[in-house]
Amino acid sequence: MARYDFASDNTAPAAPEAIDALIKANSGFTPGYGADAISRRAADLIRETLDADAEVRFVASGTAANSIALATLVQPFEAVLAHEHAHIATDETGAPTFFGHGLGISRLPGASGRIDPASLTAPLAARDQAHWQSPAALSITNATEYGAVYAAAHIQALTAPVKAKGYSVHLDGARLANAAASGFDLKGIKDLGVDILVFGGTKAGMTPTEAIVLFDKALARRFDARLKQSGQLPSKGRFYAAPFIGMLEDAAILRHAAHANAMAKRLAAAQPFKVTHPVEANAVFVDMDDERLARLHATGWFVYRFIDGSVRLMCSWATTPEAVDELAAVLRSLA
């Protein structure tokens, strides 16, 4: 039987705090469409966590959250600047373009998924013209697709010239908890020029749920209508909101993220293969040829080859030291 322990942080079960909060929410009758007390409590906890007066909505997936956020910030004839390997550019089947009715994505380089600030110079300086999609927003991912974590100063270096042009900023925080556990200050996001944040729940150990955080509250006008049209205004919204209560009330989300990060460091330390990206969150990327990857799969462990050709090993809140050591032993036997 194949083992998916390290295939993705999506393959893990939901954390007990998230499940307990869902069970507690499953009682009595409430208003629908996010107008219930549970959704209000979850939104308050997110505002408290971020130390920000923001509008908060809950949706089913990161793809929906990112796509709706970008469609809110960018006109169909405009473009989003993003890292060339960002999830919105490589793994969402054109959903941002679909939800945004044709918006474009301009891809930028940078090591380990972090955008090189110098790469912004040309697109921001280019004159507007009718024959291409001029940029109107920047999308940043923290932690990145390669498990690297942006420091606040790096984000500021990216957002400052973008905001100076009057453009908007989207932060994809699918693994925001892992970035926070690595030292990224969640309370500082509001000061970095971010207009919309996607606060990840699913990869952090919740059932399918993501929070869209509108730091620019003016964007909330008719936002629920946008969600409804996109199929992301659930009638039983409390069940999307409740897991955030369980994970935020006593900071379980950060404890679990810290554990996942620690397991990644343990796996990296025991790694016989070359580690190809910094291990700053819950991912380890290694240089492994096809023959050894096939042999690893034959032992029952399933992992993915990633965009840059390296093999990705993901840890989660549920990763155990024993599983790390077991996989490491198999990897040593292959090496």
Cα separation, 144 vs 112, whole angstroms? 7
Do 18 and 243 touch, CB atoms closer than 8 A? yes
Percent of the chain past pLDDT 90, that is, above it, reads: 99
Provide the pLDDT confidence category of residue 280 given band limits of 50, 70 and 90.
very high
Q: List the structure tokens of 52.
A: 């920000």
pLDDT digits (tens, 9 = 90+) for 92-121: 999 999 999 999 999 999 999 999 999 999
**What average pLDDT does range 178-199 have in this prediction?**
98
Give the pLDDT of residue 186.
98
Give the pLDDT of residue 1.
81
The one-character DSSP state at 114 is P
Spacing of C-alpha 333 from chain mean position: 33
Which amino acid appears at position 103 of this protein? Answer: L
Concatenated DSSP letters for 90-147?
HSSTTHHHHHTTS-EEEEE--GGGPPPGGGGHHHHHSPP-TTS-EEEEEEEESS-TTS
Do 178 and 255 touch, CB atoms closer than 8 A? no
Chain length of the chain: 335
Listed residue (141, 20, 39, 18) closest to 87, CA to CA: 141
Which amino acid appears at position 133 of this protein? Answer: Q
Give the pLDDT of residue 99.
97
User: Is the pLDDT score of 283 beyond 90?
Assistant: yes
The three-state secondary structure class of 272 is coil
What's the whole-number average pLDDT of the chain?
98
pLDDT digits (tens, 9 = 90+) for 140-187: 999 999 999 999 999 999 999 999 999 999 999 999 999 999 999 999
Predicted model pTM: 0.97
Cα separation, 263 vs 320, whole angstroms? 7
Cα separation, 326 vs 198, whole angstroms? 34
Give the pLDDT of residue 272.
98
Listed residue (250, 249, 217) closest to 41, CA to CA: 249
**What average pLDDT does range 216-231 have in this prediction?**
97
pLDDT digits (tens, 9 = 90+) for 30-85: 999 999 999 999 999 999 999 999 999 999 999 999 999 999 999 999 999 999 99
Place of tokens 């390296």: 310
Do 214 and 221 touch, CB atoms closer than 8 A? no
Do 85 and 113 touch, CB atoms closer than 8 A? yes
**What average pLDDT does range 277-290 have in this prediction?**
98
Q: List the structure tokens of 226.
A: 């946008």
Give the pLDDT of residue 327.
98
Give the pLDDT of residue 309.
98
Which amino acid appears at position 213 of this protein? Answer: V
Provide the pLDDT confidence category of residue 223 given band limits of 50, 70 and 90.
very high
Please give the domain boundaries of the chain with CATH numbers for all domains.
Answer: 16-248 (3.40.640.10), 252-334 (3.90.1150.10)
Do 71 and 99 touch, CB atoms closer than 8 A? yes
Between CA 147 and CA 67, with CA 123 as vertex, the angle to 5 degrees is: 55
